[in-house]
Amino acid sequence: MKNLKPVTSLSFLGALVNVSLAALTNLTLTGPANLPADASPPLNPSLASFSIETAFFVSYTGNISSPNPLTRSLLENLKNRTGVPAEVRIGGITADSTYWDGSLDTALFNFIDNQGALQNTTIGPQFWDAVRELLPEGTKITVNLDLQDLNFTGALEVATSAVEGLAPDQLVAFEIGNEPDHYLSFTPKSYTEIWRPWSVNISQALNITEPMFQLGATAEDPLWPYNTPAANAQLDCVSALAAGANDENTVRYCSEHTYQYSVCDPARTRVATLTNLVNHTRVAQYLDLWQPRINSVREQLGDDAFVIGEYNSVSCSGRNNVSNTFGQALWLLDTTFYAASINVSRLYIHQGGPLALQSATQLNHGGFSFYDLWWPVDNLNGPTQVFPSYSAYLFVTETLGISRNLRISNIFPGRQSNGSSITTALGDDSSGQLVVYGFWDESLPSGTDFPSKMALLNLQAYNATDATGERPSVTFDISNFLPSSDTVVTVRRLQAPGADIKAANATTWAGQTFAEGVASGEFVEEKVSNGLVEVEASGAALVILEL
């Protein structure tokens, strides 16, 4: 933990912020309180969605004769908060080796060779029964088809089976290929030359008359600066659109994948630490790389068109003691809200397990991933369990609620004229530890004058294992965002004994744990009437104005 030097005040975008950081004790937000110019359009109620690795899908849902009650319950909790289920994308690396067999007598079969490597996956009619019946009613599905084999017949068979097997209107998009920038030496042009006719032919074969395809699903981070020959040569949504991917009007959405850290090789493993993960400056620096692409895709295809269709904290299946901690919950909360604040429509957090031979030097082998929000079954890495990160999705869905008019903006550290919220030049004196988001709801009396909700994050590391002395905390003075300094607000908290906590039974959202999939314990919220909200180190709070 760093001691920060005291500072007086700093100003940007007309907003004055006073930071007194002798021991990082308080942060006064000085408004203005009205809807900022950079606010998002109304947030998508499925902002917090899921990507589930195809080969692991049935492990998550179970099958019709043996459904997985934990998965169902955890997903229903989220649906209950927004009225709309999280979306599910079925895909990932194994989608490029997934085949259809209409006579398969089980939902899914993984062919695992004698080296332990998953060679391919076969799905049958019972697979779609599970997708249709075992997710919360109304769950929208994106299906990732196999591109890597360059076998159109195989891709069309899987697409046809999805259309026939899912409920009407359940299928929202097909993806053709997962991370195609990692195989067949695709360029934007060579990719588009295959992608576009496939999307047209699949649409025709299945009598699909609306744009129904999600472009991209690419893995590589954008090069920076973005408008150089090398950056423009990258395969991504924007370069594929420029190469004519949507010339026949088949593109509905664009997806890119984000993994801020990795344990695929030792060099990246060294920086995949909890300290680096739980740091807003790093989150914003990373996601800001996508801002030009997000803007371009939204201009071409509409407000809801850019999604992070697969993401998590640490690629190659996460890292023990990093991505299975409460620290990841704070990272997930900040990542989801920050992405929403730069106009990403939905984020699909990836769930599954390590794949053998993904990299010769990968850290993880077997079992389920250390970044999963829960393990639906007992596995090599441990018993069935929920992880602290799940509670971050409760925070997000409860923030969204049933509003369809909620717009987000990052209030602190706030956005500079170049679109970044990293205030290096002006000095984010919290060193990426304090983050505030505002939410405005035009359908409420507070309208665009005041936020109806605020999210306060204190990312300062507090280690429960190594706890010494009193836990630090920060007092956020939000009175300038209230109609009156004595306006009563409600506060609900995301808490754990420390960032290193790995147990869901020690992680509380509004006082309740969700370790068994359902709320346990007394619901807790506070009323605050002086505009001062204290948030402990490694903690977060949702402030509700209720005007």
Ligand X SMILES: *[C@@H]1O[C@H](CO)[C@@H](O)[C@H](O)[C@H]1NC(C)=O
Site of interaction with ligand X (CB under 6 A): 2, 20, 22, 25-26, 38, 40-41, 63, 65-66, 80, 83, 99, 106-107, 111, 119-120, 122, 126, 151-154, 157, 197-198, 201, 207, 274, 279, 281-282, 320-321, 342-343, 402, 419, 431-433, 463, 465-466, 475, 477, 500, 503, 505, 532
Q: Do residues 277 and 331 lie in contact, with contact meaning Cβ atoms separated by under 8 Å?
A: yes
Q: How far is the CB of 526 from ligand X (least distance, A)?
A: 17
Nearest partner of 1 among 497, 430, 319, judged by Cα = 430
Query: Which single residue brings its beta carbon nearest to ligand X?
Result: 466
Which of 311, 375 has the CB closer to ligand X? Answer: 375
Which of 109, 348 has the CB closer to ligand X? Answer: 109
CB neighbours of residue 64 within 10 Å: 13
d(CA 170, CA 305): 18
Which of 257, 502 has the CB closer to ligand X? Answer: 502
- Residue 181 backbone zone (phi > 0: left; psi -120 to 50: alpha; other: beta): alpha
Which of 296, 351 has the CB closer to ligand X? Answer: 296
Which of 214, 296 has the CB closer to ligand X? Answer: 296
Q: Which helix (H) or strand (E) holds 360?
A: none
Q: How far is the CB of 118 from ligand X (least distance, A)?
A: 9
**CA end-to-end span of the chain, whole Å?**
38
Q: How far is the CB of 383 from ligand X (least distance, A)?
A: 8
Which of 230, 522 has the CB closer to ligand X? Answer: 522
Residue 517, helix vs strand vs coil: coil
Q: How far is the CB of 229 from ligand X (least distance, A)?
A: 25
Angle at the Cα of 437 (from 431 to 441), degrees rounded to 5? 170
Distance of CA 293 to the CA centre of its chain: 17
Residue 425, helix vs strand vs coil: coil
Across the strands, what pairs with 461?
none
- Residue 160 backbone zone (phi > 0: left; psi -120 to 50: alpha; other: beta): alpha
Q: How far is the CB of 257 from ligand X (least distance, A)?
A: 20
Q: How far is the CB of 350 from ligand X (least distance, A)?
A: 21
Nearest partner of 236 among 187, 193, 285, 305, judged by Cα = 187
Type of residue found at 291: Q
**Exposed / middle / buried, residue 246 (Cβ in 10 Å: 0-12, 13-18, 19+):** buried
The two tokens of residue 313 are 């904290």
Which of 169, 229 has the CB closer to ligand X? Answer: 169
Q: How far is the CB of 429 from ligand X (least distance, A)?
A: 11
Q: How far is the CB of 213 from ligand X (least distance, A)?
A: 14
Which of 187, 475 has the CB closer to ligand X? Answer: 475
Q: How far is the CB of 529 from ligand X (least distance, A)?
A: 14
Residue 434, helix vs strand vs coil: strand
Which of 405, 505 has the CB closer to ligand X? Answer: 505
DSSP H helices in 362-455: 390-400
Which of 14, 229 has the CB closer to ligand X? Answer: 14
Q: Do residues 144 and 90 lie in contact, with contact meaning Cβ atoms separated by under 8 Å?
A: yes
Q: How far is the CB of 473 from ligand X (least distance, A)?
A: 10
